[in-house]
Structure 1
């Protein structure tokens, strides 16, 4: 048995939601399609998988485990009728950790105007602050969804249309305590490559973008992220000095209050990949052999974020979801 990390995919990011009807409606409004639903009535929860699937989408028509950039919504029965139920969006003290999802669009001005016209709220509009090329919309649970452009602002400022078919589920952001430890883990253990990084020395933080597949293209227009056209990236945000504080810890979203659940990597050979992780001496949340679900494993990263590991069913049948 062997496994090739260059064939891995950052398949999805899971967030818990209060009301699946409202949440599915929101992500469909952003142009995504419900490509899979896994009901679990015995355990009283359902899973909804949404992704970009137009003919122009990166993974159009692919089996759901053979994709990148999926958003998984987990709904625990009854939360929609509980007036006290509220998720932790990862951006409020003392439960910061997960930061946001990010979509990239063909026309950031027109896309944001369309979202605003539909009545959705913003954490940050394009016109707020100094960063005029980035906006953050709020989903029905208060999770942040970053909106970035695939073209320079000046190229789209007088264009009123936006084509949802060109949108990408670009990245998922998590905060990390020790950048060096996290970069080593995601590259050496999970097999990702560092596609680009930004150092904001004056502001005291760095951003690192990792993923599988093609490297970031060169010669990108000024003001446009080199990875804006890609899907399934992981953004690590490191605030200087956190690594020196022995008591500092981010909230992984699975301790109370809950919110973000995990990222998921689809692999070429699940048994071989897990054997490799064992050799790398990872911390396990769940081995393949633990519990009743023998088709998934969970690895812990240096900050105790959960990483689900599943079989890419295109490369090898296993679970037959």
Structure 2
């Protein structure tokens, strides 16, 4: 079980998704106001990693080293996919391969932000005017991943305002579907040390949403739209009672979403603690050639990378 002292320096660092054409994907996320903070090339293994996040002077973790941040997106590009007409990403929202749902940015002015995205020619899964929920939209990235857009202010507060400033945007959360809410909440709180920040119960729709993250719960009347690096768990009622039911982890074929990542202040100590809690490992530190990353499995089999926060060692991980 997590104690505050053991996990107080943990950060929900990034969410990894595979992409077909990195040029198009980087262009899209930069249009949303993110900056390419680091590119790691692994030419022998024939893949590259692109880390993007908000880095304006107003950003939460502006100027920090890569693994001393929250709310980054890691794009993984396997060489050759961009020229392979057969290669297609699993976005996590199509049966029978549902699991990962979306990433989410929060914006200063949702009407103006959505108009700007539409004017640039990007497609929407859901516009503000679609359906009953008029305060959220979903734009599609070049691979068809869903990116939710939410406002940092109430809808009526920005009505008629035409300007939007991408420097104020946040990479707010990543959503994954879970089979058993009780088991998943226990894992993310007691094992990984996150705090349950808020719960949205939708009995009529037959689902609950749980928002978790590191740091304090919001105060009275405060929301979470201004935060970065949150995890949203979506639980559809009854899935926990079906033994045969499971979600797609994104790493089996067809692939798409890869993992979420938590950075820690002491990698060896964190992994020893996880070992003492009898977690299910995908990769221990001692497995394989990369001795500076580990992967544990959450109750649904999603991969959670554990990596060193460089602020505590003073040197780059890669």
Give the TM bin, normalised by the shorter chain: over 0.9
Q: Give the match for residue 251 of structure 2.
A: 254
Q: Within the alignment, does 1:315 sit opposite 2:315 as a pair?
A: no
Indicate the RMSD between aligned Cα atoms, in angstroms.
Answer: 1.1
| 1:216 CA displacement | 1.9
Is contact 2:195-2:216 (8 Å) kept?
no
The corresponding residue for 2:272 is 275
**Aligned-pair CA distance for 1:318:** 5.8
Aligned-pair CA distance for 1:4: 2.0
Normalising by structure 2, we get a TM-score of 0.98
What's the counterpart of residue 223 of structure 1?
A: none
Match of 2:57 in 1: 55
Local SS of the residue matching 2:24: helix
Of 123, 128, 138, 2:125 maps to: 123
Alignment check: 8 A CA contact 1:52 1:168 kept = yes
Q: What is the distance in 2 between the residues matched to 1:241 and 1:154?
A: 36
Which of the numbers 85, 88, 94 marks the counterpart of 1:86? 88
Match of 1:239 among 219, 222, 236: 236
List 4+ stretches of structure 1 deviating above 4 A: none
Structure 2 partner of 1:96: 98
- For 2:265 and 2:243, locate their aligned partners in 1 and report how far apart those are by CA, in whole Å: 37
Equivalent residue number for residue 106 of structure 1: 108
Distance 1:23 1:207 in 2: 28
1:6-85 mapped onto 2 (5 Å cutoff): 6-85=8-87
| Cα deviation, residue 214, structure 1 | 2.8
Unaligned runs of 5+ in 1: 221-225
The counterpart of 2:143, out of the listed 141, 144, 147, is 141
Which deviates further from its counterpart, 151-160 or 39-48? 151-160
Structure 2: gaps of 5 or more residues: none
1:177 to 176, 179, 184: 179
**Cα deviation, residue 317, structure 1:** 4.0
Spell out, residue by residue over 1:129-163, the C-alpha distance to the aligned partner (whole angstroms, 9 max, x if none). Answer: 01000000000000000000001111101110001
Q: Structure 1, residues 164-184: CA drift from partner, whole Å, max 9, x if none?
A: 010000000000000000000
Q: Distance in 1 between matches of 2:316 and 2:304?
A: 18
* CA positional deviation for 1:319: 4.9
- Do 2:292 and 2:317's aligned partners in 1 also have CA atoms closer than 8 Å? no
Q: Which among 213, 219, 233 is matched to residue 221 of structure 2?
A: 219
**Which SS does the other structure have where 2:28 is aligned?**
helix
Return the alpha-carbon distance in structure 1 between the equivalents of residues 224 and 219 of structure 2: 7
Measured after TM superposition, the shift of residue 217 of structure 1 is: 3.3
